[in-house]
Amino acid sequence: MNNKQDLISVIVAIYNKEYLIDECIQSIIEQTYHNLEIILVDDGSTDGSGDICDKYANSDSRILALHKENGGLSDARNAGVDAATGAYIAFVDGDDHLAPTMYETLHKALTESGSDVSMCGHYVVYSDKPAITLGSNGQTTFHSGDDALLGLFSNNIENFHSYDIDKLKLSLRSFLSPNISIFGYVWNKLIKSDIAKQIKFEGAYIEDFFYSYKLYSRIDKLAIVRKPEYYYIQYPDGLGKAHTVASNISRLKIYEEIFHDIIKTYSANPTHFSLAQKKLVISTFLRIFESTIIRTILNYPDTSQKDVHELLVRTKSRLREIIKGKALAAPPSRFAFLGLLLLVLPERVLKKVLTRVGL
């Protein structure tokens, strides 16, 4: 089968993964959906990864090996997108692997429903404890781009159909946990190529999250297949997937960019500003709060006072904009309470309060 109309370009960014990429590449080659263009992007590896990419390219006509200077994950993925010729684009991390039916499942869900993007559940696999399964009830549901945006900032897309956030059956912790949501990753998705080629990956941290924000802002329909088909591998040393103070500061800056993008959109055309985007402003700030306080100050007690001060100054500035009504809507009461704590309590007292309530 070599039908360009149904060709899926699978982009694998690889950097110094010589002991990990065989299983990854094999799992793509062995897909039950055969109409694939497999693009292996060697991002300036200094081990044997580049030679392994060439070996596979020489053994399978569907595989293209690209070699480039090291520029980071975002740059490698962008190079893969530029080279892709398929009607659909997918991304895989070089140290993960796929279930055999993943692309057959995603292609069927996308094409039969007329969606712009399809996505599946996944397994989080550890070497020292049982795997976690996300998205396993087998159902397929369909959502608008606005609902997809809301799902990106919450953890349960179906719960965001009421503007009154206080009525949502979500705990505070679920609001403040970006990494348990399946909506922020790119490797569990199949994307129409004409949309994917409009978007660039940016930054060295949480690039998937920012990409997904831009992606969901451009689509009309998303198909979610609640069947785990992707194996997201976590290694004991947290290679490439660790949360550090630097990554948390970067995360905060990404949320700020989203915040400003929403406000800019509203200022330019307030009458067409969707209800979803209004709710998104509040959710965005909840993420900023989580990134600033919980992840950095509480989880990293040795964070420099300079970094803590920078984070708090940034966060308080955004909070004042919302409380003064500059961010489209009054915050819900729970959010206002957290905001007032952030504004009025000294850093050391705030830390004690949050610790006492279990955050």
84-136 pLDDT, tens digit each: 999 999 999 999 999 999 999 999 999 999 999 999 988 988 888 888 887 77
Looking at the domain assignment, is residue 188 inside a domain?
Answer: yes
Instruction: Please say if the pLDDT value at position 197 is more than 70.
Output: yes
Least confident range of 11-20, 161-170, 302-311, 335-344: 161-170
Q: Could you tell me if 223 and 292 lie in one domain? A: no
Instruction: Please say if the pLDDT value at position 12 is more than 70.
Output: yes
Nearest to 152 by CA among 245, 255, 36, 82: 255
Neighbour-count burial for 34-56, b at 16+ CB within 10 Å, e otherwise? ebbbbbbbbbbbeeebbebbeeb
**What is the total count of domains within the chain?**
2
Instruction: Please say if the pLDDT value at position 8 is more than 70.
Output: yes
- Phi, psi (rounded to 5 degrees) for 11: -105, 120
Give me Rg for the CA atoms of the chain. 21
Q: How far is CA 291 from CA 60, 341, 358, in A?
A: 44, 16, 16
Q: Could you tell me if 269 and 162 lie in one domain? A: no
Q: Could you tell me if 279 and 305 lie in one domain? A: yes
Q: Which of 173, 207, 234 is the last residue of a domain?
A: 234
Tokens standing for residue 9: 């370009």
Average pLDDT over residues 301-330: 60
Q: Could you tell me if 193 and 271 lie in one domain? A: no
Distance CA 153, CA 179 (A): 10
Tokens standing for residue 80: 């893969």
Looking at the domain assignment, is residue 98 inside a domain?
Answer: yes
Helices assigned H by DSSP within the chain: 21-29, 49-59, 73-83, 102-113, 145-153, 172-175, 193-196, 207-216, 245-268, 275-289, 305-323, 333-344, 347-356
Question: Which pTM was predicted?
Answer: 0.76
Looking at the domain assignment, is residue 318 inside a domain?
Answer: yes
Looking at the domain assignment, is residue 240 inside a domain?
Answer: no
Nearest to 327 by CA among 269, 280, 281: 281
Residue 249 pLDDT grade (very low, low, confident, very high; cuts 50, 70, 90) = low
Q: CB neighbours of 247 closer than 8 A, spacing ≥ 6?
A: 205, 206
Distance CA 120, CA 228 (A): 6
Q: Could you tell me if 181 and 72 lie in one domain? A: yes
Q: Which of 203, 234, 265 is the last residue of a domain?
A: 234
Looking at the domain assignment, is residue 287 inside a domain?
Answer: yes
Residue 158 pLDDT grade (very low, low, confident, very high; cuts 50, 70, 90) = very low
Q: CB neighbours of 108 closer than 8 A, spacing ≥ 6?
A: none
Looking at the domain assignment, is residue 140 inside a domain?
Answer: yes
Percent residues over pLDDT 70 in the chain? 57
Q: Which of 211, 234, 257 is the last residue of a domain?
A: 234
Averaged pLDDT of the chain: 75
Q: Could you tell me if 59 and 184 lie in one domain? A: yes
pLDDT of residue 184: 79
Q: Could you tell me if 8 and 139 lie in one domain? A: yes
pLDDT of residue 253: 72
Cα-based angle 286, 218, 161 (whole degrees, multiple of 5): 50
Instruction: Please say if the pLDDT value at position 30 is more than 90.
Output: yes
Looking at the domain assignment, is residue 191 inside a domain?
Answer: yes
Residue predicted with more confidence, 323 or 19: 19
Q: Could you tell me if 279 and 333 lie in one domain? A: yes
Q: Could you tell me if 256 and 230 lie in one domain? A: no
Quote the crossing angle between the two packed helices 333-344 and 347-356, to the nearest 10°: 140
CATH number, residue 111: 3.90.550.10
Average pLDDT over residues 270-283: 57
Least confident range of 170-179, 249-258, 286-295: 170-179
Tokens standing for residue 170: 């979500």
Least confident range of 11-25, 58-72, 137-151, 279-293: 279-293
Looking at the domain assignment, is residue 239 inside a domain?
Answer: no
Domain that holds residue 310: 245-356
Tokens standing for residue 347: 């850093």
Least confident range of 27-41, 82-96, 238-252: 238-252
Q: Could you tell me if 139 and 197 lie in one domain? A: yes
Q: Could you tell me if 213 and 182 lie in one domain? A: yes
Q: Could you tell me if 261 and 221 lie in one domain? A: no
Residue predicted with more confidence, 209 or 135: 209
Q: What is the DSSP letter of 49?
A: H
Average pLDDT over residues 21-31: 97
- Collapsing DSSP to helix, strand or coil, 109 comes out as helix
Residue predicted with more confidence, 104 or 245: 104
Percent residues over pLDDT 90 in the chain? 40
Average pLDDT over residues 137-141: 81
Per residue in 72-90, pLDDT (tens digit) is 999 999 999 999 999 999 9
